Amino acid sequence: MTQAVSVRLDDDVRRALHTLQASGLSRSEAIRKSILDAAAALRRNQELRAEVAELEADDVDRKEMREVASLMESLRAER
């Protein structure tokens, strides 16, 4: 089932919509695609934040990262 939605567009959004339409998308396709893309980006950001939090909470992983950083520092050429 589809549902119509009304939206007020400011100048920036109107220009962006025209750009999307110039690529060959209809107005409806451009709006739907933009909403889906924004939701997907938000999900990716949330998943990434969760992954970072999980890694930061992993003491074994943090210890290994410190050891690798220390090794890399020891291998760095002296100037």
- Does the pLDDT value for residue 76 go beyond 90? no
Could you tell me if residue 6 is inside a domain? no
- Structural domains of the chain, count: 1
Its pTM stands at: 0.68
Nearest-5° Cα angle at 48, 58 to 30: 175
Range of the domain at 61: 11-75
Residue 60 lies in a domain: yes
Res 68: pLDDT: 95
C-alpha dist (Å) from residue 22 to 11, 19, 31, 36, 45: 16, 5, 13, 19, 29
Q: Is residue 1 part of a domain?
A: no
pLDDT of 15-69, one tens digit each? Answer: 999 999 999 999 999 999 999 999 999 999 999 999 999 988 999 999 999 999 9
- For position 2, what pLDDT does the model report? 86
